[in-house]
Amino acid sequence: MPTTFREGDTLVSPVVVAQTHSKGAPVQDPEVARSSGLKAPVVPNVFHFARITELMLEHFGAHWRTHGEIDVRYISPLHAGDTLQARARVLKVAPDPEGDRVHLDVRCENQDGAVLAQGAASCVLPSARGAASGTGAG
Amino acid sequence: MTVVPAATAEAVRLIEAHFAALEVGARVALERTYTEADVAEYVERTGIEYPGQHVADDGAHLLPPGMLLVGPARTFGILEGPPLARGGLFTAATRRYRRPVRLGESVRYEAALTDKFERGGYFYILVAWHAFDAEGHEVGSGVEEHTVGSARKPRAS
């Protein structure tokens, strides 16, 4: 976990291969996908969301559970077999009533670099941390 | 002329009828206690590492934040009928986290249907929710934008 965040720092999740689940929505079913004219079963957006929240937990730790905020819009479908990676970029660190709040833009990209989901996230830093000089996150 | 498979046409008919009957302002309250099996299913769906980052300082296992929500499809959607009528797709989500939830802890949800609209042939609902622990403390809140079903009306040619 980085000790500080600075504008422009980039946070990146591991690349994962998207997968469907047998108990998921019907569009995850290969037969339904085929008969509906889809190129492949559609992976639910909970998959994208998990990538982003895990990335936030990695960098903000327990504070994400008490001060984390996220707003994401899903843009294009993720298909089974595609890869997905979450990225976040620090936009600013601004004072908040409870401490310094780090504001980030967040996105998920597939193997072609297409943006499948994007939005904003923020989290208040532990009081001992902040926008001071030090090791960046990127 | 747009040709729509019969199965999809039936799904659209059911979705449209269900959507028309939905009342903005409708409220739902429900209580849920998350089990290890619930988390195992979420882990299988998402591929996250568990417990991994989801351990409290005292060693207790915590609920992955992505699991904290009221499912729009379960509360206001269609659960039976042709595949493309059931469930739906998340199209946007806003979440605010305020307290960690331990595995086995009871969570009380209060949700409301705050809007519904058509866009691009799809039928959308907005569901706002707040979640509370057993002591009444808010553990999180959110707004989910979700389609009713996964079928859409054919576009006019």
As a three-state string, the secondary structure of A28-58 is HCHHHHHHCCCCCCEECCHHHHHHHHHHHHH
Task: Give the gap in angstroms from C-alpha B90 to the nearest C-alpha of chain A.
Answer: 6
Q: Which residue has the tokens 């936030």?
A: A56
Which CATH number fits the domain that encloses residue B139? 3.10.129.10
Q: Which residues of chain A have pLDDT under 70?
A: 1-3, 22-27, 36, 127-138
Q: What is the pLDDT of residue B1?
A: 52
Residue-range domain boundaries for chain A: 10-124
The class (CATH top level) of A10-124 is alpha beta
Chain A residues with a Cβ under 8 Å from any Cβ in chain B: 16, 19, 21, 23-27, 29, 32, 35-36, 42, 44-47, 49-51, 53-54, 57-58, 61-62, 64-74, 119
Residue B30 lies in a domain: yes
Please tell me the distance from the alpha carbon of residue B82 to that of residue B86, in angstroms, as a whole number: 7
Q: Which two tokens stand for residue A128?
A: 């001992």
Whether the ω angle into residue B72 lies within 30 degrees of 0, i.e. cis, is no
Which residues from chain A sit within 8 angstroms of residue B100, using beta carbons? 62, 65-66
Query: What residues of chain B, 66 to 85, have a C-beta less than 8 Å from chain A?
Result: 66, 73, 83-84
Domain with B84 in it: 6-34+63-147
Is B112 within 8 Å of B75 (Cβ atoms)?
no
Report how many domains make up chain B.
1
DSSP letter assigned to residue A113:
-
Q: What is the pLDDT of residue B58?
A: 95
Least confident range from A17-26, B81-90, B124-133: namely A17-26
- Chain segment A43-80, per-residue pLDDT in tens: 889 999 999 999 999 999 999 999 999 999 999 989 88
One DSSP character per residue, A61-91 reads: TTHHHHH-EEEEEE-S-EETT-EEEEEEEEE
Closest CA to B92 of A118, A109, A77, A80: A118
Mean pLDDT estimate for chain B: 93
Q: Is residue B106 within 8 angstroms of chain A, CB to CB? A: no
